[in-house]
Chain A
Amino acid sequence: MNQNGYKITTRNLSLSYGPKLALKDISVGIRTNYVTALIGPSGCGKSTFLRALNRMNDLIDGVQTSGEVLVDDIDVYRNDVDVVALRKKVGMIFQRSNPFPKSIYDNIAYGPRINGIHEKNKLDQIVERSLKQAALWDEVKDDLKKSGLALSGGQQQRLCIARALAVDPEVILMDEPASALDPLATAKIEELIFELKEKYTIVIVTHNMQQAARVSDYTAFFYIGKLIEFDETKNIFTSPKEKQTEDYVTGRFG
């Protein structure tokens, strides 16, 4: 799509909640079809940064943003940008799995339906494809009518991923998607991320450094609202340039 290989680029992105500055001058390039991990101690702004990418922060009263977030070369904070279209393109998975209190089928069909797809067989196809992509199809194919809330935590999170995939996004933002899951379910999600990067650009926030090291190609280290270091993951973990990064990844604080 974009010739320079960057799906999302931020330039001097700053963000404040009222008087409190949460992000300071973040400039970063997120590459197409790679997994970029955002790490840092809690409260460092990594989740805020993630939510700035699809303008989810708009929902919070008193948030002010400056600088640019370019998605496919368009500054999405421009006045003439359609937030709805942006969010279709840039999907999001949340920390706490949040299926709608509807059936599995209806959860996944939600996105396509609001996009005007109502033909049964088309929806069936999308549901099946999305569930397969999210590696959930085999577990739930026999009871798609079951409530999404009846699934286990890990399944719920994969349902949410399937739901996000159903609207054909190009980027998937994940906000600590495995933080509430047991190791087995976490492993499944990580496996999934690995497969998904074939087709999607993925940005993942995690507080788990092993996870960042396992799944990501690039890693950004945030500290108190600032981007301290951004590099290929292996460099961040083996030869960080900044002292703070080193302290953090070696577990000296955080």
Chain B
Amino acid sequence: MQALQAPNKSETTLRSITTTSNTTTPLASQGNHDGDSTKLWWKKRFRLGEFLIEKSITAISFLSFAFIALIFVFVFRESLPIFSTSAVKKPAETKQVQQETYGDETPAAELQQQVDERKRSVENLEEGGATAANLAGKIWQPVSSKPKYGMLPLIVGSLKVTAVAVLFSAPMAILAALFTAAFAPKWAKELLKPAIEILAGIPSVVIGFFALIAMATFLQKTFGFQYRLNAFVGGIALSLAVIPIIYTITEDSLSRVPKVITEASLALGASKWQTALFVVLPAASPGIFAGILLGIGRAFGETMIVLMATGNASILSGDLFEPVRTMSATIGAEMGEVVFGDTHYTVLFFIGAVLFLFTFTLNAIAEVFIRQRLMKRFEGQ
């Protein structure tokens, strides 16, 4: 009886039951009845299989993080020699020479030549002043007797192409998303959404091919610029890859604007377009901004399209209609032909590290905008 007694209120309620009960044996008296097997039914069993599976699943999941860490480490590690003055590597690494001729052995002479070449390039680098000064230079000429690794034209190239791409794709994608969210009849939505998904699914090499073969000629005829392949053409081509990103995120954040807000505006006598433009669009602005950031990141990091459609000349100029070479395209075009471990190789990795950091930062900012601002606004927290 005492075992069942609750301290306060329920005492009365319990009594009515205990009166119908015959026994008042204290609970949990040790070892009184039943065989061991039933007595210990509750005893926690150690399930080895279960334990091992959980640990392996956790360990394997951790791989994603490990790989991100490894990407950081290796991309930066390979670009590290830039920062040390003695860019010459240990002789042991001369074996890490990429073979362009498959299966054949690299003749010793050739090896030696490559080593010399590398030494020379390093010397030249030092000759031309500090590495940093060389990197900040205006000329990118990695393959020459006096290699120059001025990244400025590449950076400007990337910026030009990205600017064209985003300036072209952002208004179009945002307006198209607004159209889907506010004005489109059902059939138009059902046409547009798959079209965007298809566009998002087109491989970038196909877009590059299309830009190189068809679009460049068309644009040249229309605008009459001198070079068929240039920053403008590359940027327009890139926008085909950027449109789906900005559209999807904009459309998503527009559709997340609560109906009550829209209805309130409409109820106040605002027309459909006024509501769309002055209520829905501003309410979704953090999401749209995030979409643009992700679009910039994509444009900046994209390789194949710019590699094929920009003309790939490392000219430092502000003219949008001149051929350019972007950072990503430089890696794509030159990494296949460099000697492992030499300055050129290192500089290309350095460019990669910059690309990585840049897109990483953009994505992180976009994430903050999507997650925090948008959620806060609509969920009132």
Report if A and B touch in the complex (beta carbons < 8 A). Answer: yes
Question: Which residues of A does B touch, CB under 8 Å?
Answer: 1, 3-6, 9, 11-12, 25-29, 31, 70-74, 76, 79-82, 84-86, 89, 218, 226-227, 229-232, 235, 241
In the complex the two chains form, what is the Cα distance from A126 to B13 in whole Å? Answer: 40
Highest count of chain B CB atoms <10 Å: which of A79, A84, A235: A84
Question: CB < 8 Å: which of B4, B34, B41 contacts A6?
Answer: B4
Question: CB < 8 Å: which of A12, A31, A70 contacts B27?
Answer: A70
- The reply to whether A31 and B17 form a contact with Cβ atoms under 8 Å apart is yes
Highest count of chain A CB atoms <10 Å: which of B10, B24, B41: B10
- In the complex, what residue of chain B is closest to A5 when comparing beta carbons? B21
- The reply to whether A85 and B41 form a contact with Cβ atoms under 8 Å apart is yes
Chain B residue contacts of A26, Cβ below 8 A: 10
Chain A residue contacts of B22, Cβ below 8 A: 5
- The reply to whether A230 and B13 form a contact with Cβ atoms under 8 Å apart is yes
Chain B residue contacts of A226, Cβ below 8 A: 9
- In the complex, what residue of chain B is closest to A31 when comparing beta carbons? B17
- The reply to whether A5 and B23 form a contact with Cβ atoms under 8 Å apart is yes
Question: Which residues of B does A touch, CB under 8 Å?
Answer: 3-10, 12-14, 16-18, 20-25, 27-28, 32-34, 38, 41-45
In the complex the two chains form, what is the Cα distance from A6 to B3 in whole Å? Answer: 11
Question: CB < 8 Å: which of A27, A73, A89 contacts B14?
Answer: A27
- The reply to whether A85 and B13 form a contact with Cβ atoms under 8 Å apart is no
Chain B residue contacts of A11, Cβ below 8 A: 6
Chain A residue contacts of B21, Cβ below 8 A: 4-6, 31
Question: CB < 8 Å: which of B7, B27, B43 contacts A4?
Answer: B27
In the complex the two chains form, what is the Cα distance from A237 to B158 in whole Å? Answer: 80
- The reply to whether B10 and A4 form a contact with Cβ atoms under 8 Å apart is no
A-B contact count (CB 8 A): 91
- The reply to whether B27 and A231 form a contact with Cβ atoms under 8 Å apart is no
- The reply to whether B10 and A74 form a contact with Cβ atoms under 8 Å apart is no
Other contacts beyond A27-B5, A28-B13, A86-B42: 5, CB < 8 A: A5-B21, A26-B10, A80-B44, A81-B43, A81-B44
- The reply to whether A85 and B24 form a contact with Cβ atoms under 8 Å apart is no
In the complex the two chains form, what is the Cα distance from A27 to B32 in whole Å? Answer: 25
- The reply to whether A230 and B10 form a contact with Cβ atoms under 8 Å apart is yes
Chain B residue contacts of A5, Cβ below 8 A: 21-23
- In the complex, what residue of chain A is closest to B45 when comparing beta carbons? A82
- The reply to whether B6 and A25 form a contact with Cβ atoms under 8 Å apart is yes
The answer to whether residues A85 and B25 also contact, given A27-B6, A230-B14 and a CB cut-off of 8 A, is no
The answer to whether residues A218 and B12 also contact, given A5-B23, A73-B28 and a CB cut-off of 8 A, is no
Chain A residue contacts of B34, Cβ below 8 A: 1
- The reply to whether B44 and A3 form a contact with Cβ atoms under 8 Å apart is no
- In the complex, what residue of chain B is closest to A26 when comparing beta carbons? B10
Q: List 29 A-B contacts (CB under 8 A).
A: A1-B33, A3-B23, A3-B25, A4-B21, A4-B23, A4-B27, A6-B4, A9-B27, A11-B6, A12-B7, A25-B10, A27-B6, A27-B7, A27-B14, A28-B10, A28-B14, A29-B14, A70-B28, A72-B41, A80-B42, A80-B43, A85-B42, A86-B42, A218-B17, A227-B10, A227-B13, A231-B16, A232-B16, A235-B16
In the complex the two chains form, what is the Cα distance from A27 to B6 in whole Å? Answer: 6
Chain B residue contacts of A86, Cβ below 8 A: 42
- In the complex, what residue of chain A is closest to B17 when comparing beta carbons? A29
Chain B residue contacts of A232, Cβ below 8 A: 16-17, 20
In the complex the two chains form, what is the Cα distance from A226 to B25 in whole Å? Answer: 27
In the complex the two chains form, what is the Cα distance from A25 to B11 in whole Å? Answer: 12
- The reply to whether B6 and A3 form a contact with Cβ atoms under 8 Å apart is no
- The reply to whether A74 and B28 form a contact with Cβ atoms under 8 Å apart is yes
- The reply to whether A241 and B42 form a contact with Cβ atoms under 8 Å apart is no
The answer to whether residues A25 and B8 also contact, given A70-B28, A230-B17 and a CB cut-off of 8 A, is yes
- The reply to whether A4 and B24 form a contact with Cβ atoms under 8 Å apart is yes
- In the complex, what residue of chain A is closest to B46 when comparing beta carbons? A82
In the complex the two chains form, what is the Cα distance from A27 to B25 in whole Å? Answer: 17
Question: CB < 8 Å: which of B3, B23, B42 contacts A76?
Answer: B42
In the complex the two chains form, what is the Cα distance from A218 to B13 in whole Å? Answer: 11
Q: Give A9 Cβ to nearest chain B Cβ, in Å.
A: 6
In the complex the two chains form, what is the Cα distance from A231 to B13 in whole Å? Answer: 6
